[in-house]
Amino acid sequence: MENAQITTLQQAIVHFADPQNCLDYLAKKRWPNGVVICPTCGGSSVSFLKNQLRWQCSSHHAKRQFSVKVGTIFEDSPLGLDKWLPAMWLITNAKNGISSWEVHRALGVGQKTAWFMLHRIRLSHQPKHGNKLSGQIEADETFIGGKARNMHASVRARKVTGRGPKDKTAVMGILERGGKVVTKVVPNRKKKALQSEIRDHVLAGSAIFTDALKSYDGLDEFQHEVVDHAVEYVRGEVHTNGLENFWSLLKRSLKGTYVSVEPFHLFRYLDEQAFRYNNRRDMNDRDRFDLAVSGIVGKRIMYKQLTGKTAQSAAETVPF
């Protein structure tokens, strides 16, 4: 089966069960011009070792032999691409995400392994910095965290130390109508935190619609209009319903699929949901999968980083 004919998960599983198909597909995504580059020295004089399904650089240096996994989120993983690529298809195209337990059962890997795989795949969903958002923009914030009444008494005693949003994580969203959404974990809902994000991501002069939170006062370089939710939710074009829809999708995945997410990892789940949301239109499952695979290079994270067992922040990736 040709790559272009793969449109469903079942076809992807069958196609990528062949190691040669996996190699050919990833090689084309990594080196689209057909010139294989050594990830260590950057040289293009390499030869293919067919019996090992890897390349060897003609220059003599450490790590002169390399596989298609080197320098990607798959590096040093003992799992074959026949498991990695279907897992990428699953998480990229599942509207509400897919849990590590589901991947564990579907692919026959351990649950902790599946959890590690999903976090590495989320690195491919990280947004690329491009042009600033423009036109009609919605800005809003929400809090992520479990409800105290749903927690076991011992968990509630440990996690809930005050009332309202005190023990929850603040998240900000900026949505370009008809375009993309940008999300960010923010330290609080104060003016400095929220307005700095708007100025970083929105072109001056754009129309910005927010709720009546005082932290949005002073956005003088924008056409800023406010809808007071204590009075109304929509006033003509002035509303934040687009972001409310995104928050609904996000919380449905966090509560319904992932059940429990530590604030330590929340930004990756935001990247995952924003990736699917931003590529939901005019893109089929195969196109979305190809786009995710194009983001695997130059990103890597260790298990000890994810579990907080290293001084290096789990938010960092190791560049190659």
The CA-atom distances, in angstroms, between 112 and each of 13, 116, 302 are 22, 6, 13
pTM for this model (two decimals):
0.86
| CATH (one of 2.60.40, 1.10.357, 3.30.420, 1.10.1160) for 136-261 | 3.30.420
Cβ neighbours of 150 (radius 10 Å) = 9
User: How many Å apart are CA 55 and CA 67, to the nearest integer?
Assistant: 6
Return per-residue pLDDT of the chain as tens, 320 residues: 666 688 999 999 999 999 999 999 999 999 999 999 999 999 999 999 999 899 999 999 999 999 999 999 999 999 999 999 999 999 999 989 999 999 999 999 999 999 999 999 999 999 887 789 999 999 999 999 766 555 556 555 555 555 545 578 999 999 999 999 999 999 999 999 999 999 999 999 999 999 999 999 999 999 999 999 999 999 999 999 999 999 999 999 999 999 888 888 999 999 999 999 999 988 999 999 999 999 999 998 989 888 876 544 444 333 32
Domain ranges of the chain: 3-123, 136-261
Backbone angles phi, psi at 247, to 5 degrees: -60, -40
Strand 207-210 to 136-144 pairing:
parallel
Q: Could you identify the residue written with the tokens 């298609």? A: 68
User: How many Å apart are CA 254 and CA 99, to the nearest integer?
Assistant: 10
What DSSP assignment string belongs to 19-81? HHHHHHHHHHHH-TTS----TTT----EEEETTTTEEEESS-STT-EE-TTTTBTTTT--S-H
Cβ neighbours of 230 (radius 10 Å) = 6
